[in-house]
Structure 1
Amino acid sequence: MTLTVSDENRVRTLVLDRPEALNAFNEALYDALADALLEAADDPTVAVVLITGNGRAFSAGTDLLEMHRMSTDPGFVRGKHGFIGLVDALVDFPKPLVVAVNGIGLGIGCTIIGLADLAFLSSTARLKCPFTSLGVAPEAASSYLFPALVGRQNAAWALMSSEWISAEEAHAMGLAFRVCAPEDLLATATRHAEVLAAKPISSLVAVKRTMTEPHRAAVRAARDRENAAFAELMGGPANLEALTAFAEGREPDFTRLPAGG
């Protein structure tokens, strides 16, 4: 099982459930979460979706071992939705989306915040956008959403440095709505989700639509630019060095790459 689903008080809680892999997204988890969001969007009994993780991580992002196989094995079979399908499901999700980041949030485990309506972080959570350390490009429209959410310089640091961001730093820059003690995180996020879920779904959908509609074209354009840049860089010298170093348990060395690599 890669995802667990539960309903209470019109809140559907989706728990990323690959704790042994720090809830890293393989194709199966991308598909499971995308399907769950599509189902929740159409379910008249669901008013709010809350996403959190099982174990000590929220999500370690894309499963790098699977990414390495995807980059090097021409016969690799991709999932039904994959990463792009999940991002589309997140962008198009019409109801309030709440995330409770219970631990490490890497890659999509961080950039999903740009697509959430409310983000709650455990005080022990840490975030990282590891794109430059993997030799790839941003994702999930973060190149547009992060500057709008936290300002140009905070976004530049988050997206370019591949450095860890603490929960307190995330809150100070505007990535988090609340920072909670670990033992209070899920209860606090759920309480806020239930406040929203008690309201008329039609009104919640209308509010979200009026907030997001002015940005929809820009988000899709950013996603398309990112996907094109990611596809161009994936499997290139820097990306292969990063993935090989990960598989070999060492730090990547980008200084010896060809010029422009």
Structure 2
Amino acid sequence: MTIRSEIVEPGIRTITMAYPPVNALPTAGWFGVADAMREASTDPDTRVVILRAEGRGFNAGVDIKEMQRTSGHDALIAANRGCFESFKAIYECAVPVISSVQGFCLGGGVGFVGNSDVIIASDDAYFGLPEVDRGALGAATHLARLVPTHKLRALYYTSQNITAQELHSYGSVHQVVPRAELDEATLVFAREIAAKDTRVIRAAKEALNGIDPVDVNRSYRFEQGFTFELNLAGVADEHRDAFVTTGEVLETRSA
């Protein structure tokens, strides 16, 4: 179980998540992504970052089973802090971040892609926030960057998924390709960025962040406050216990 960071071509760094079977990240994984992004941000040889994953899906969110194996609130606090730090590090990375998404992208995975600069997805990719079904809240900040307002609310309240093709129709997924072509398609796009003057691209990234209408860091922390309230009220534990008992079925249903 690893977060692997490496230069694969001049100027192009990949950060790969490998947490089988479904890339549900434990606390260490979220902090690992944050650390890798910060390293990439300060590396003068990195001009663009590709965030990708091994296995059948990109990300299945937080490892709830890890959380339920611990007593008290330490695991919840650590997981929430890890999510915040990793999303923040992606958004604030000094160079563009491309999310390369296959299969499922759920929960915290939406936080990753929502704070990325570009999303390229396989034709079997789907995205969703099952937070309401888990007795938690979060990443609406990031889903709001992918879909219109009323679509966001419909997806959030129902925990329904949305396909890469529909996100492409909104313009939030840049490209949808057959799964076998995903890695190469992402590299082709990354090469375009890597070929530019990195001084200008880094300035462009900072400028684009500066004109965003929403402070994504503050917005996400606001959401997390409600997760803590639900946890203190005992609601979140009920839902997480039910999840651990019944297990997760990753579905391809869409809104």
Q: TM-score normalized by structure 1? A: 0.86
After superposition, the Cα gap between the structure-2 partners of 1:12 and 1:125, relative to the gap in structure 1 and judged at 3 Å, is same
Q: Which residue number in structure 1 is paired with residue 205 of structure 2? A: 208
1:158 offset after TM fit, Å? 2.7
- Corresponding residue of 1:123: 123
> Which of 133, 149, 153 is matched with 1:152 structurally?
149
Q: 1:22-171, aligned counterparts within 5 Å?
A: 22-70=22-70, 72-73=71-72, 78=78, 82-139=82-139, 142-143=140-141, 145-171=142-168
Structure 1 pair 233–174 and aligned structure 2 pair: CA distance change class (3 A): farther
The amino acid across from 1:2 in the alignment is T
Going from structure 1 to structure 2, the CA distance change for 1:108 and 1:78 (only over 3 Å counts) comes to: closer
Matched, 1:231 2:228: yes
Supply the distance in 2 between the matched residues of 1:191 and 1:27 (Cα, whole angstroms). 32
Q: 1:2 to 1:234 in 2, by over 3 A?
A: farther
Give the letter for the 1:13 counterpart: T
User: Which residue of structure 1 aligns with residue 13 of structure 2?
Assistant: 12
Residues 206-238 of structure 1, C-alpha deviations (whole Å, 9 max, x = no match):
111111112276223312211212222235443
* One-letter code aligned to 1:11: I
Q: Which residue does 1:258 correspond to in 2?
A: none
Counterpart of 2:138 in 1: which secondary structure? coil
3-state SS of 2:29 partner: helix
Q: CA deviation at 1:148?
A: 4.6
d(CA) in 2 for partners of 1:250, 1:78: 22
Q: Gapped runs of 5+ residues in structure 1?
A: 252-261
| Segment drifting more, 167-176 vs 122-131 | 167-176
**C-alpha displacement of 1:149:** 3.9
**Aligned-pair distance for 1:3?**
1.3
8 A Cα contact 1:19 1:57, kept in partner: no
Asked whether the 8 Å contact 1:154–1:173 carries over to 2, the reply is: no
| Matched letter for residue 245 of structure 1 | A
Deviation, 1:194, is 1.2
The answer as to whether partners of 1:24 and 1:61 remain within 8 angstroms in 2 is yes
Cα separation, 2, equivalents of 1:158 and 1:148: 13
* 1:157 to partner: Cα distance: 2.2
Deviations 1:92-130 (A, max 9, x none): 212100000011111111232211111011111121111
- Aligned partners of 2:47 and 2:14: how far apart in 1? 11
User: What amino acid maps onto 2:63 in structure 1?
Assistant: D
Between the aligned partners of 1:3 and 1:95, the Cα distance in structure 2 is 19
- Tell me if the contact between 2:83 and 2:108 (Cα under 8 Å) persists in the aligned partners: no
**Contact 1:126 / 1:164 at 8 angstroms: preserved in 2?**
yes
Aligned length: 245
CA distance in 1, matches of 2:74, 2:95: 38
| Counterparts of 1:4 and 1:86, CA distance in 2 | 15
Unaligned stretches of 5+ residues in structure 2:
249-255
Query: What is residue 194 of structure 1 aligned with on the other side?
Result: 191
Distance in 1 (alpha carbons) for counterparts of 2:18 and 2:155: 26
Aligned to 1:255: none
* Matched-pair identity in %: 27
Q: Which moved more, 1:185-194 or 1:106-115?
A: 106-115
Relative to structure 1, the CA distance from residue 74 to residue 212 in structure 2 (aligned partners, 3 Å threshold; closer, same or farther) is closer
Change (3 A) 1:244 1:189: same
Tell me, yes or no, if the aligned pair for 2:5 and 2:13 is still in contact at 8 Å. Answer: yes
User: Hey, what's the Cα distance between the residues in 2 that align with 1:168 and 1:88?
Assistant: 27
Deviation of 1:74 after TM superposition, in Å, equals 5.3
- Alpha-carbon distance in 1 for matches of 2:6, 2:137: 34
